[in-house]
Amino acid sequence: MIIQNLKESIMKTAVEMEDMIRAKADEDEAFRDRLLEDPRQAIHEATGLTVPEGFSISVHEESATDFHLVLPPAGSRLSDAELRSAAGGWAPTSDSY
């Protein structure tokens, strides 16, 4: 069972993992408390995955008066030329629709 859970967890995307963890935290108050207190251990318990020590995890609980904005790494935005290159040299224009 543990091996099967691990295989299934490895195959999931980061977004799917986040969705699963959020859903579990919404349904299970004890898990939510563990996730806020020790995210590394809570994620391991829920998924079977060990989060590498060099990887930082921050879990925050929003409220009516708190808002959390996550920014991408500085300098990570692609230029228009890089975007065209990534798109195989094609970029939509207003008349291409």
Answer yes or no: is 50 within a domain: yes
Answer yes or no: is 55 within a domain: yes
Is residue 65 very low, low, confident or very high in pLDDT (cuts 50, 70, 90)?
very high
Owning domain of residue 24? 1-61
Answer yes or no: is 93 within a domain: no
Structure tokens at 83: 């975007």
The percentage of the chain sitting over the pLDDT mark of 90, rounded to a whole number, equals 29
Answer yes or no: is 54 within a domain: yes
Mean pLDDT across the stretch 59-76?
85
- Tens of pLDDT, residue by residue over 5-17, are 655 555 567 788 8
Task: Give the pLDDT of residue 5.
Answer: 61
Q: Which whole-number Å values give the CA distances from 91 to 5, 42, 87, 97, in the listed order? A: 41, 43, 7, 11
Overall number of domains in the chain: 1
Answer yes or no: is 79 within a domain: no
- Whole-number mean pLDDT of the chain? 81
